[in-house]
A and B are shown apart, each in its own frame.
Chain A
Amino acid sequence: MAASLKGFLYGRQHPDEAAEIIKKYLPTSDLAISRREMELSWATWVTPNTAGKPLG
């Protein structure tokens, strides 16, 4: 789980690299769509109820 969280945070810091990694393992994926999916996820990582608390 610690490795997953580390990956989530690294991916947010390096979104283009993250999209490329997704495409490497899922060649039919679209770089722009992968990046937009991640953007929408980041926008909802923290909610009013979870602000200031650890991820997970």
Chain B
Amino acid sequence: MPAYSAAIHGGHRPGQFRHQTPKELEGKTIGIPTGAAQFQQWPAFAKGCGIDAGKVKIVKCRSRRGGAAVINGQVDAIAGFAQGWVPSIEIRGNKQARLLWYADCGVTAVSNGIIVHPDLLKQDPSSSEASWPRA
């Protein structure tokens, strides 16, 4: 199951993104919180997308300040969970966000899931996956 990580660009107006592909991140500055999974996964993302990682400047970014860094133009992009940063960039920053999904470049890290103990399955068959609702 792919994790929902993404490199996120901020554009000034709809349809005015200079960077349309991951490869175009070369020569740019990307903010990533060093403690975030996206920081650890960056090399895999770069390799999967064919990005020359040596041509991308990675800067430390406080986890709560990533959206503001894009809005203010301090960085060209950030890497993080799309759900966490995109809304504030779009709504408070009045910019459109361009998402480059980590999963599209082969970073299919495990996301959230439910693990059920075999004893519970015997005790309560309704806990098996067959009984869970579909999206």
Q: Footprint of B on A, CB under 8 Å? A: 1, 5-6, 9, 30, 32-34, 36-37, 40-41, 44-47, 49-50, 52-56
- Beta-carbon nearest neighbor of A5 in chain B: B133
- Is B129 in contact with A53, judged by CB distance below 8 angstroms? yes
Q: Is B53 an interface residue (CB 8 A)?
A: no
Q: Are A40 and B2 in contact (CB under 8 A)?
A: no
Interface, chain B (partner A; CB < 8 A) = 1-2, 4, 82-84, 86-88, 90-92, 103, 108, 113-114, 129-135
Docked complex Cα distance between A53 and B113 (Å):
12
A37–B87 contact, CB under 8 A? yes
Residues of B within 8 Å of A46, CB to CB, are 135
State whether A56 touches B132 (Cβ < 8 A): yes
Are B91 and A56 within 8 A (Cβ)? no
Contact present for B1 and A56 (CB under 8 Å): no
Contact for B133 among A9, A32, A36, CB less than 8 A: A9
Q: Specify which of A30, A41, A47 is in contact with B91 (CB 8 Å cutoff).
A: A30
A36 shortest CB reach to chain B, Å? 4
Write the nearest CB–CB distance from B110 to chain A, whole angstroms.
Answer: 11
CB-based contact A47/B2 at 8 Å:
yes
A-B pairs with lowest CB-CB distance, top 10: A54-B132, A36-B87, A56-B114, A33-B87, A40-B83, A44-B4, A45-B135, A54-B129, A46-B135, A37-B83
> In the complex, A54→B114 CA distance in Å?
11
Q: List 27 A-B contacts (CB under 8 A).
A: A1-B114, A5-B133, A30-B91, A32-B87, A33-B88, A33-B91, A36-B86, A36-B87, A37-B83, A37-B87, A41-B4, A44-B4, A44-B82, A47-B1, A47-B2, A49-B1, A49-B2, A49-B108, A50-B1, A52-B134, A53-B129, A54-B132, A55-B133, A55-B134, A55-B135, A56-B114, A56-B132
